[in-house]
Amino acid sequence: MSIEARQETLGFQAEIRQLLDLMIHSLYSNKEIFLRELISNASDAADKLRFEALKDDSLYENDTDLAIRVEFDEKQKTITVMDNGIGMSREEVIDNLGTIAKSGTRQFFNALTGDQNKDVHLIGQFGVGFYSSFIVARKVEVTTRRAGLSRGEGVRWISTGESDYTIETVDRPKRGTRVVLCLRDGMDEFLNSYRLRGIIRKYSDHISLPILMIREGKDEKGDETVNSATALWARNKKDISEEEYHEFYKHVAHDFEDPLTYLHSKVEGKLEYTSLLFIPSHAQFDLWDREQRHGIKLYVRRVFIMDDAEQLIPAWLRFVRGVVDSDDLPLNISREILQNNRTIDSIRAGCTKKVLGLLQDMADRDAEKYAGFWNEFGRVLKEGVIEAKDDKEEIARLFRFASTHDDSDKQAVSLMNYMERMQQGQKAIYYLTAENFVTARNSPHLEVFRKKGIEVLLLTDPIDEWVTAHLHEFDGKPLQSVTRGELDLGDLEDQDQEDQAENTNQGQDGLTERIRQSLGDKVKEVRTTNRLTTSPACLVSDEHDMGRHLEKILKATGQSIPAVKPILEINPEHPIVMRLKDETDDGRFAEWARILFDQALLSEGGQLEDPAGFVHRLNALFLDLAGSKNTQDGT
Ligand code: ADP
Ligand code: MG
């Protein structure tokens, strides 16, 4: 058999150098985690082999005792981590160890500031993985062969973690991967059996494969299993410490930080499964990426079946990490079968309920912690009321909004808080959607609500438009936009104001009609309102037309939507409106009317069709007023 050595030197993807720099700098005080990462990869490799071997058991090559082995050599100053998992082909080595395939990589690098002190915490969110070897190693040598390939198709990868690596084809009788770390000076502390065992127990005890080391001592040399080597989730809750849960999370989620919270439960009865679900502390970089990976891992009777089993958790809970282990599914289940499977549907419904319960519990017990969760994942959770058929009210209960109650941009008000503060006789939950908090807070539409002390929720996430379109009511109360339809405050309307509105309305018919004619097809209607107290005018949409803010969002995404004309509402009490009524000059009346319209548009954060024209008109009026003032002064 001839082995074509095919040796070549290849450059790392540019980002890797940057990543390595950052990692070595930022994780220096935590360097022992390299071992956790290598063991985690070895364990994943064993899972993948088990899974592929379900279809083709020749991949085991008569070696079914999957294990991870850790060795060290004091003289050579090396540490070796070996596995008999799936291994890698030449191409896979280049893809996996020469580029960062993680989705979200670009966002990660964009987020870096160049200030290492600031960037340090980012790396934790990104995950460290294989490259953490270079924290302790000056040179890393990986020898591997993929299961199923011939012994001549082994691969050796060597790098000093600078700009490139070499790769060559080698003879490798054994399937699986061996990683040899040649330690840097000053890393001798790791050349110690006691220390290595301690690290393994601390970080990798939950790994379900045996992690073997050579037995110490004078008696005959043999292997010793260092970890518990049982699937963590299959163990009794009582016997698992918080640290163990946290380390397990880091392994399944490929995360570096502790999770925010978790839930371990065993369901028994007609359907039997165990779930161990975690809420991460921070949003994953790829939370908004369509190709996001690493969700829930599916196991069947302790055998790994697949990563990212998206059928096990709805998309609006895609930030949840963990494992589900079913006793009922067949081992040879495929993704296609998962899509139409009753058992899976019940498991998903069960997991969904559990996560909602877990979040509600966190919200009830620890508002501050929940605020942290909401900040990271609230916008994803909001998709729930759009997508879910059931549980809408339960999901909405978890929402938090900014509101006029405390006028802070912190989203801290729940719908229950709102309901508790509702006024006697208030018929609806009022909200306003806008592009940002400042625009929302200063919106003229809020004036009468502020005057009467009626709370309005201020919604500023783009998704809120869809949320309110799908959440029509909460606890029996309808959600009502303050920028839509005629304002009907019902019992909250004060009688004198109503009378006044009627009175003034009667007298305004001429004015509103004159403004409408002057504005032409810019508006659908002009009418007086009691919505305003200090502003002269605002724009609203008809009850059944598309909301103005939604229209803007859709336009921004390039969708062509039929133009919806707004309704201009004027405040009959406002001096400008009163002044307009007496304006006899048609030309000047038209200028004023147009300014009213443009102002109303500006105050809702809208874009003027003709900004220069607006400025011009405004200046003309200023001069006009100044002129009349001067003549007054002169007399
Ligand atoms: P992650 O584990 O989050 O995917 P890593 O940087 O730890 O990221 O590893 C990168 C990739 O290299 C892995 O996804 C895997 O495909 C491959 N890999 C690493 N170690 C091994 C191994 N021991 N056996 C097989 N493949 C491995
Ligand atoms: Mg890894």
Residue 129 CA, ligand 2 centroid: distance in Å: 4
| Total domains in the fold of the chain | 4
- The whole-chain average pLDDT of the chain stands at 88
> Residues 261-284: what's their mean pLDDT?
94
Give the span between the Cα atoms of 582 and 579, in whole angstroms. 5
* Percent above pLDDT 90 for the chain: 60
In a domain, 404, yes or no: yes
The string over 85-117, giving b where at least 16 C-beta atoms fall within 10 Å of a residue's C-beta and e elsewhere, is: bbbbbbeebbebbbebebbbbeebbeebeeeee
In a domain, 1, yes or no: no
Nearest CA to ligand 1 atom 10: 96
Does residue 41 have its Cβ closer than 6 Å to ligand 1? yes
The amino acid at residue 62 is N
Which ligand 1 atom lies nearest to the CA of residue 131?
Answer: 6
241 and 325 belong to one structural domain: yes
CATH code of residue 35 = 3.30.565.10
CA distances from 251 to 127, 144, 163, 296 (A): 10, 22, 28, 12
CA distances from 414 to 95, 394, 483 (A): 46, 12, 21
Which ligand 1 atom lies nearest to the CA of residue 40?
Answer: 2
Give the span between the Cα atoms of 265 and 325, in whole angstroms. 11
CATH code of residue 397 = 3.40.50.11260
What is the pLDDT, as a whole number, of residue 178? 98
Top pLDDT among 543 and 612 is at 612
- The residue to mutate among 40, 130, 140, 179, having the most atoms of ligand 1 within 8 angstroms of its beta carbon, is 130
Tell which residue, 321, 409, 416, 316, has the closest CA to residue 364. Answer: 416
> Residues 564-574: what's their mean pLDDT?
92
Of 18-27, 82-91, 545-554, the range with the highest mean pLDDT is 82-91
Does residue 593 have its Cβ closer than 6 Å to ligand 1? no
pLDDT in tens, 487-525: 878 777 765 555 555 555 556 778 999 999 999 999 999
Residues 6+ apart with CB under 8 A from 226: 70, 197, 200, 201, 211, 212, 213
Indicate the pairing of strand 457-459 with strand 429-433: parallel
Of 356, 379, 394, the position where a domain reaches its end is 356
Does residue 284 have its Cβ closer than 6 Å to ligand 1? no
Residue 400 CA, ligand 2 centroid: distance in Å: 35
408: three-class secondary structure by DSSP: coil
Residue 199 CA, ligand 2 centroid: distance in Å: 17
Give the span between the Cα atoms of 43 and 26, in whole angstroms. 26
In a domain, 179, yes or no: yes
Q: Using alpha carbons only, what angle is made at residue 202 by residues 199 and 207, rounded to the nearest 5 degrees?
A: 100
Residue 18 CA, ligand 2 centroid: distance in Å: 18
452 and 551 belong to one structural domain: no
Nearest CA to ligand 1 atom 15: 96
Does residue 447 have its Cβ closer than 6 Å to ligand 1? no
What is the pLDDT, as a whole number, of residue 503? 52
Give the span between the Cα atoms of 533 and 40, in whole angstroms. 64
CA distances from 48 to 41, 180, 197, 572, 610 (A): 10, 22, 26, 73, 61
Tell which residue, 576, 582, 592, has the closest CA to residue 515. Answer: 592
CA distances from 20 to 36, 98, 106, 138, 627 (A): 17, 12, 16, 12, 69
Of 116-120, 565-569, 581-585, the range with the highest mean pLDDT is 565-569
- The residue to mutate among 20, 44, 297, having the most atoms of ligand 1 within 8 angstroms of its beta carbon, is 44
CATH code of residue 301 = 3.30.230.80
528: three-class secondary structure by DSSP: strand
Indicate the pairing of strand 537-540 with strand 273-279: unpaired
Both tokens of residue 590? 């038209």
Q: How confident is the model at residue 294 (pLDDT cuts 50, 70, 90)?
A: low
Which ligand minimizes its atom distance to the CA of 43?
Answer: 1
Which residue matches tokens 């079968």? Answer: 337
- pTM for the whole thing? 0.81
In a domain, 267, yes or no: yes
Stretch among 362-366, 554-558, 607-611, 625-629 having the lowest mean pLDDT: 625-629
485 and 499 belong to one structural domain: no
Does residue 45 have its Cβ closer than 6 Å to ligand 1? yes
Give the span between the Cα atoms of 88 and 96, in whole angstroms. 9
553 and 470 belong to one structural domain: no
Nearest CA to ligand 1 atom 21: 41
Provide the 8-state DSSP code for 55: T
559 and 600 belong to one structural domain: yes
Stretch among 153-157, 184-188, 255-259 having the lowest mean pLDDT: 255-259
Q: Is the pLDDT of residue 219 over 80?
A: no
Q: Is the pLDDT of residue 174 over 70?
A: yes
553 close to 615: Cβ distance less than 8 angstroms: no
What is the pLDDT, as a whole number, of residue 635? 45
Conformation bin of residue 511: beta by default, left when phi > 0, alpha when psi is -120 to 50: alpha
Of 187, 202, 228, the position where a domain reaches its end is 228
Phi, psi (degrees; rounded to nearest 5) at 483? -110, 20
Nearest CA to ligand 1 atom 7: 129
Alpha helices in 297-456 (DSSP H): 335-339, 342-365, 367-387, 392-396, 415-421, 437-441, 447-452
Top pLDDT among 218 and 479 is at 479
Which ligand minimizes its atom distance to the CA of 47?
Answer: 1
538 and 445 belong to one structural domain: no
33 and 166 belong to one structural domain: yes
In a domain, 155, yes or no: yes
Residue 245 CA, ligand 2 centroid: distance in Å: 18
Write out the residues surrounding ion ligand 2, Cβ under 5 A: 40-41, 129
90 and 215 belong to one structural domain: yes
Residue 41 CA, ligand 1 centroid: distance in Å: 5
Residues 6+ apart with CB under 8 A from 515: 526, 568, 570, 580, 593, 596
Q: Is the pLDDT of residue 267 over 90?
A: yes
Measured on CA atoms in the order 294, 296, 300, 301, is the torsion positive or negative? positive
Give the span between the Cα atoms of 138 and 182, in whole angstroms. 6
Q: How confident is the model at residue 1 (pLDDT cuts 50, 70, 90)?
A: very low
Residue 242 CA, ligand 1 centroid: distance in Å: 26
In a domain, 214, yes or no: yes
31 and 170 belong to one structural domain: yes
Q: Is the pLDDT of residue 14 over 90?
A: no
What is the pLDDT, as a whole number, of residue 292? 64
In a domain, 125, yes or no: yes
Does residue 68 have its Cβ closer than 6 Å to ligand 1? no
Does residue 88 have its Cβ closer than 6 Å to ligand 1? yes
Which residue matches tokens 């999770």? Answer: 259
In a domain, 362, yes or no: no
377 and 423 belong to one structural domain: yes
pLDDT in tens, 586-607: 988 999 999 999 999 998 888 8
469 and 498 belong to one structural domain: no
Stretch among 229-238, 416-425, 429-438, 599-608 having the lowest mean pLDDT: 599-608
CA distances from 244 to 204, 206, 280, 618 (A): 8, 7, 15, 68
Give the span between the Cα atoms of 225 and 40, in whole angstroms. 16
467 and 545 belong to one structural domain: no
Which ligand minimizes its atom distance to the CA of 91?
Answer: 1
Stretch among 10-14, 34-38, 365-369, 405-409 having the lowest mean pLDDT: 10-14
Does residue 130 have its Cβ closer than 6 Å to ligand 1? yes
Give the span between the Cα atoms of 209 and 228, in whole angstroms. 9
Give the span between the Cα atoms of 186 and 452, in whole angstroms. 71
Give the span between the Cα atoms of 391 and 479, in whole angstroms. 18
CATH code of residue 542 = 1.20.120.790
Range of the domain at 452: 368-491
Of 356, 391, 424, the position where a domain reaches its end is 356
Residue 27 buriedness (CB in 10 A; 0-12 / 13-18 / 19+): buried
Give the span between the Cα atoms of 507 and 530, in whole angstroms. 15
Does residue 250 have its Cβ closer than 6 Å to ligand 1? no
Element containing residue 95 per DSSP (H, E): helix 90-98
